[in-house]
Amino acid sequence: MTPGLNISNVWMKVDKGLLNEIVDFWQSNKMLSPQVDPIERALNVVLTIRHENKIVGLTSTDLIRFQQLNNNVFYLFRMAVLPPYRVPGIESKAIVETREILEAFAAGQSTNKAIGMLTFVENPQLLAKRNEAVWPASKAVYIGTDKQGRHIRVCYFKGARI
d(CA 114, CA 94): 19
Tens digit of pLDDT for each residue in 33-42?
Answer: 999 999 999 9
| Residue 46 lies inside a defined structural domain of this protein | yes
| Residue 77 lies inside a defined structural domain of this protein | yes
Alpha helices in 12-162 (DSSP H): 16-28, 38-42, 90-107, 124-129
Which DSSP category does 134 fall into? Answer: B
Question: What CATH number corresponds to the domain at position 115?
Answer: 3.40.630.30
Tens digit of pLDDT for each residue in 55-95?
Answer: 999 999 999 999 999 999 999 999 999 999 988 889 899 99
d(CA 75, CA 106): 9
| Residue 11 lies inside a defined structural domain of this protein | yes
Question: If you average pLDDT over residues 103-129, what whole number do you get?
Answer: 90
| Residue 92 lies inside a defined structural domain of this protein | yes
Q: What is the pLDDT of residue 3?
A: 62
Contact between 82 and 56 under an 8 Å Cβ cutoff? The reply is yes
> 1 pLDDT band (50/70/90 cuts)?
very low
Q: pLDDT > 70: what percent of the chain? A: 98
What is the pTM (predicted TM-score) of this model?
0.92
**Number of domains observed in the structure of the chain:** 1
- Cα separations (Å) of 40 from 36, 43, 44? 8, 5, 7
| Residue 16 lies inside a defined structural domain of this protein | yes
| Residue 84 lies inside a defined structural domain of this protein | yes
Please give the residue range of the domain that contains residue 71.
5-156
